[in-house]
Amino acid sequence: MNNNSYKAATKLIHAGVEPDPSTGAIMTPIYQTSTYVQEAPGVHKGYEYARTQNPTRTALQQAMAAIENGKHALSFGSGLAATDAIIRLLVPGDEVIVSNDLYGGTYRIFTKVFAVYGIKFHFVPMDDAASIEQYINANTKMIWVETPTNPLLNIIDIEAVSAIAKKHGIKTVVDNTFASPYLQNPLDWGADIVVHSATKYLGGHSDVVHGVVVVNEDALEEKLRFIQNSCGAVPGPHDCWLVLRGIKTLHVRMDRHCENGEKIAKYLRSHPKVDRVLWVGFEDHPNHAIVKKQMRGFGGMISFVLKEDNMEAATNVLKNTKLFALAESLGGVESLIGHPASMTHGSIPREERIKNGLPDSLIRLSVGIEDADDLIEDLKQAIG
Ligand SMILES: *Cc1c(COP(=O)(O)O)cnc(C)c1O
């Protein structure tokens, strides 16, 4: 089905997927093969070698393009492999402006891997989109946006950033992992490239690591496909199948993540031991108007800061939860709890971390789809 006029729930089930031509199997088979037999040299059914193409991957890529309202999608062995391919569009001397509250692994690949090759990254706040114009110069080739941000749940105006970028002939990339295509479609707001860690909400069951890039422009897709085939960070067919299967329930899961997220954010806000709660659904979120514009729901990610703002108080909460599991990652059906100051952001010096708005006691929740009352009970006994 490649009819883009269907509504989200229909697209999530059917987009890109046809009954298997050889058997009629309704579910896309896992084409576990490395190569394909040719009738004569160069005469084949569109598949030559599985680094280049695989039918399970093709189905997933068509589904991803459809649900992100894009023309092309490419899937990778991980979210960071997808990021790696995007940065390979650049050459030494090029500069990238990056939102400063960023996934730690993205920060690491930019500063530790690509900076060495002469690509320059500027990490700047983007809450006020207009303020990024001052960082643009003749070498600026890309603006990299993550929204909502991790773990501070800041919001960046994709439409405003893309408009500034376009004016200067710069490509805008949006990491849409936190929102998922069900809640936000950056291409609709003018972004050129969308990147996902499909490990999170798209896969949804904490059982696969995967990445996806979606674009509209043919030339961009051609370049990325060349990079993917040349560098080889492709996913296996079983992983593609798991993500394809995850996508079919994305809307049902996201609706429940949003519902549970709202109940828990409101509960935490009323808790006497909680100083503040960061959640994009609050009317008094500094960029709530932009949330309302570009997102269709508020998601399941929440951070909160304790009144007793120290490591020990946070550790006590983390030790005491029974349903919320202490783990990295997010977006799965089960609820997770994390402590950025000692986990994902542990390598950042304390002073700098606090200056960037990340205090010692900040706790991040990935709210799952269990019963909300049970989750609230768990937090109640853990916070005390
Ligand atoms: C997890 C994550 C990534 C990296 O994806 P992997 O699949 O772990 O390689 C990138 N961006 C965000 C926002 C993430 O949460």
- Select from 247, 264, 293 the last residue of a domain: 247
**% helix, strand, coil for the chain, step of 5:** 40, 15, 45
Q: Give residue 106 CA to ligand 1 midpoint distance, Å.
A: 8
Q: How far is CA 122 from CA 88, 150, 154, 162, 247, in A?
A: 17, 18, 18, 17, 34
Enter the pTM of the model: 0.96
Residue 169, in any domain of the structure: yes
Is 200 part of the annotated catalytic residue set?
yes
Together in a domain, 88 and 125: yes
Together in a domain, 268 and 234: no
Q: Give residue 76 CA to ligand 1 midpoint distance, Å.
A: 12
- Select from 247, 277, 300 the last residue of a domain: 247
331: which 2 tokens? 């977006």
- Select from 247, 265, 297 the last residue of a domain: 247
Using DSSP, state whether 43 is helix, strand or coil. Answer: strand
Measured from the Cα of 177, ligand 1's closest atom is 13
How many CB atoms are located within 10 Å of the residue 27 CB?
13
* Residue 195: alpha-carbon gap to chain centroid: 7
Is 128 part of the annotated catalytic residue set?
no
Together in a domain, 112 and 207: yes
Containing domain of residue 101, as a range?
A: 8-247
Total number of domains constituting the chain: 2
- Note down pLDDT in tens along the chain; length 384 residues: 445 678 999 999 998 889 998 899 999 999 999 999 999 999 999 999 999 999 999 999 999 999 999 999 999 999 999 999 999 999 999 999 999 888 889 999 999 999 999 999 999 999 999 999 999 999 999 999 999 998 999 999 999 999 999 999 999 999 999 999 999 999 999 999 999 999 999 999 999 999 999 999 999 999 999 999 999 999 999 999 999 999 999 999 999 999 999 999 999 999 999 999 999 999 999 999 999 999 999 999 999 999 999 999 999 999 999 999 999 899 999 999 999 999 988 877 899 889 888 999 999 999 999 999 999 999 999 999
C-alpha–C-alpha distance, residues 213 and 195, integer Å: 5
Q: Say if CB 304 and CB 278 are below 8 A apart.
A: yes
Burial group, residue 136, by CB count within 10 angstroms (0-12, 13-18, 19+): middle
Together in a domain, 239 and 127: yes
C-alpha–C-alpha distance, residues 197 and 203, integer Å: 9
C-alpha–C-alpha distance, residues 35 and 47, integer Å: 8
Nearest CA to ligand 1 atom 7: 79
Together in a domain, 40 and 185: yes
Residue 1, in any domain of the structure: no
